[in-house]
Amino acid sequence: MFGYRVPAPDEAMLISGGRRGQGGAPFRVVTGHGKFVLPVFRKVRFLTLAMCEAEVAETCVTKQGIALTVRAVIAFKVGNDTESIVNAGQRFLSDQDQMSVLTGRIFAGHLRAIIGSMTVEEIVTERQKLATEVLDTSKAEMAKIGLIVDSLQIQSIDDGDTGYIDAMSAPYKAAIQRQAQIAQAQATQASVEAQQEAARNQAEYARQTAIVQAQYNAEVDRAQAQAAQAGPLAQAHAQQEVLAAQTELAERAAQLRQQQLVAEVVKPAEAEAERIRVLALAEAERMKIQAEAAASHDRVALDRMLIEQLPQIVKEAAAGLSGASVNVLNGADGLGEIAAGLVGQGLTILESVRKNLGTSEGDGGTRKFEVQRYLGSSGKDSGSIDIQ
């Protein structure tokens, strides 16, 4: 739109003409938004608010009287507040490049003053302290011209041909060189050890590889030998299994034949033997019973025959006395005693015969018993009696 002006984000728009600005400034300050400006009656100028840079290369004398060339870089800008913009606008609006020149000169003066109160050792070892002191001393002066410093960096410190800094750093350099040599030696030793370890590892790896290769070759040879023997071994196993099967078949046939023989010969023979034994036992038992019955019958018959022939036995005994000389001392009583003795003798013979029959074995045939009599001292045999 005609007459409407808008400043850039890093600019401040200064409008002069008409009423004054804040604090009696000869212009109004506009930042961050646009403004309608009457042409001809108002004049607009723009002040940069961007970061600016100033370099300083100043020769300074230290507290020890040693000249040092100090190089520094200052980063600064116009302050964002209205007062700083007004102060900077009044000083640098027509020639804004002068901000860097003036800032460098201001910092050069403060740098000389501060380095003059410090030793070379402090300057070299405490650069940040130097920068902080320079910033602190220049802050108020920079604020008066509407500028603020963001940072100050000391880039280099040089003592020229005096060699003071080199001499000061010599012990450190020697120590550093010594440490570097030690580190180099250690690195070399570590490298040699690493190479030796690598060689040992390589040899060990080669050895293990050779062992594995040998094992592999042995396994291959063994597998090939097993494969070559597999056919004969399989045939031999098959023949062995056939022989084992034939042997088992023969054993089973033998067992079957044995069972058949047992069933056909032994069992019938055992059955026949058992039958014969049972028949023999039965026959023996029958014969025993018959023998016992016959013996019992013979005893009964013998007793009866003995009883029947007892008078004959007594008679024969009495006949043995016919030729003997008998003296009777007590008359009739003595004769009675002799007769009674003869009868008693006959009964004794009868009892003896019974006992002999009871203890002897007979088959029902004729038994012959001899009866001897002894009459007195003559010893005359009376003969024998056959009993049927």
| More confidently predicted of 351 and 251 | 251
pLDDT at 5 over 90: no
Rounded (5°) CA angle 314-317-322: 125
- Note the pTM of the prediction, 2 decimals: 0.42
Task: Report whether pLDDT(123) > 90.
Answer: no
Identify the pLDDT of residue 39.
79
User: How does the average pLDDT of the chain come out, rounded?
Assistant: 78
* Eight-state DSSP code of residue 262: I
Q: How far is CA 6 from CA 29, 83, 96, in A?
A: 12, 20, 20
Distance CA 47, CA 12 (A): 5
Burial 235-260 (b: 16+ CB within 10 A, else e): eeeeeeeeeeeeeeeeeeeeeeeeee
Pairwise CA distance, residues 364 & 93, whole Å:
185
Identify the band that residue 339 occupies on the pLDDT scale cut at 50, 70 and 90.
Answer: low
Task: Name the residue type at position 104.
Answer: G
C-alpha span between 217 and 73 (Å, rounded): 76
| pLDDT-based confidence at residue 340 (cuts at 50, 70, 90) | low
Q: Is the pLDDT of residue 269 over 90?
A: no
Question: Residue 382: pLDDT above 80?
Answer: no
| pLDDT tens-place string over residues 194-249 | 899 989 999 998 999 999 999 989 999 888 888 887 777 778 788 888 888 888 88
Statement: residue 41 has pLDDT above 60:
yes
**Is the separation of the CB atoms in 17 and 23 below 8 Å?**
no
pLDDT value of residue 351? 66
d(CA 280, CA 288): 12
pLDDT at 94 over 90: no
Pick 365 or 291 by higher pLDDT. Answer: 291
Give the residue, 152 or 42, on which the prediction is more confident.
152
Distance, CA of 118 to CA of 381 (rounded, Å): 188
Mean pLDDT of 175-203: 89
d(C-alpha 275, C-alpha 269), whole Å = 9
More confident residue, 289 or 380: 289
Could you tell me what percent of the chain has a pLDDT over 90? 10
Cα separation, 75 vs 108, whole angstroms? 14
What percentage of the chain carries pLDDT values higher than 70? Answer: 74
Is the alpha carbon torsion for 89, 94, 97, 102 positive or negative? negative
CA distance 180 to 195: 22
pLDDT, position 73 = 93
Which candidate, 170, 153, 159, places its Cα nearest to that of 119? 159
The alpha carbon of residue 285 and the mean position of all alpha carbons in its chain are separated, in whole angstroms, by: 84
Q: Are strands 367-369 and 27-30 parallel, antiparallel or unpaired?
A: unpaired
Two structure tokens written together for 18: 């008409």
Domain residue spans of the chain: 4-162, 301-322+329-387
Confidence class for position 368, pLDDT limits 50, 70, 90: very low
> Could you tell me the sign of the dihedral formed by the alpha carbons of 217, 219, 221, 223, in that order?
negative
Multiple choice CATH, 4-162, 3.40.50.2020, 3.40.50.2300, 3.30.479.30, 3.40.720.10 = 3.30.479.30
In the prediction, which pLDDT does 258 show? 84
